[in-house]
Amino acid sequence: MKMRILIAALTVCAVDSCLSQGTGPRITVSRDIEVTRVSEHSYVYVSHADVPHWGRVPSNGLLYISNGEALLFDTPMNDSLTMVLVQWITDSLNVKIVGFIGNHWHDDGIGGLRYLKSVGIPSYAHEKTIAIAESKDLPVPEHSFRDSLTLHVGREVVVCRYFGAAHTVDNIVSWIPADSILFGGCMVRELASESLGNTADADLAAWPSTIARVIAAYPAARIVIPGHGARGGPELLRHTQALLKKTK
């Protein structure tokens, strides 16, 4: 009996430890969307969409929750997937999405913005993202910033910053100090990646300096989330640097 009690106690401790380290179970929202809890207040979602010349592509986004309010970082690639994700967030997590932050102008950044605007969710992006969206007749985020933006969600803050061109000329990163999470988006490559991915709109000359500034700014980053593929730690930033050196 004592042995059974000990095993049960160890199991509970192991589960608590996993949750504290952000290794929650993967939740299937739909055929195309999965969500994983990565910290006490943060969830990474992966959405899948068919992209010409690339096939079925998984893309990462982030949801941060504090005191019943949530911020969404990047949308799935289209409005229909975004609608499914938003409905799941509001219905299953019982939170109100008080803002959306677009990492860059591609579909895996703001592809579902039209739907977010239709349901009244405020949207934020760098001024370069807004200029590009306007020039390409895309849905346009409502609020812009130049260097940095601090948003309040519940009792916490999120800081968005522009460090320079990389994957695109407008890409930003978002920092959640309470959880030491850096959402790097497509500027950052997963460890399994052997290339820089889609560089059609990249500034390969500026990218190395930009990623170096990001590394210097966030030495305390514990979880780093790339635009595609597996999350990790600051090693993802260094891996991206290494890929850039190989590209020269």
Query: How many CB atoms lie under 10 A from the CB of residue 118?
Result: 11
Catalytically active residues, by annotation: 104, 106, 108, 167, 198
Give the pLDDT band (50/70/90) at residue 6.
very low
Write the pLDDT tens digit of every residue in 74-116: 999 999 999 999 999 999 999 999 999 999 999 999 999 999 9
* Type of residue at 231: R
Q: Supply the mean pLDDT for the chain.
A: 91
**56 vs 150 pLDDT, higher one:** 150
* pLDDT number for residue 247: 84
| Residue 212 buriedness (CB in 10 A; 0-12 / 13-18 / 19+) | middle
Query: Which residue is associated with the tokens 């999120």?
Result: 158
| CA atoms within a 13 Å half-sphere pointing along the CA-CB vector of 141 | 27
Give the pLDDT band (50/70/90) at residue 52.
confident
Domains and CATH numbers, the chain: 25-247 (3.60.15.10)
| Residue 122 buriedness (CB in 10 A; 0-12 / 13-18 / 19+) | middle
Give the pLDDT band (50/70/90) at residue 214.
very high
* Res 4 pLDDT > 50: no
Give the pLDDT band (50/70/90) at residue 23.
low
β-pairing, 173-176 vs 156-161, is antiparallel
Using only C-alpha atoms, the chain has a radius of gyration, in whole angstroms, of: 18
* Res 16 pLDDT > 80: no
* Res 19 pLDDT > 60: no
* Res 5 pLDDT > 70: no
Query: Which residue is associated with the tokens 């979602």?
Result: 45
| Alpha-carbon gap, residue 152 to 98, rounded angstroms | 9
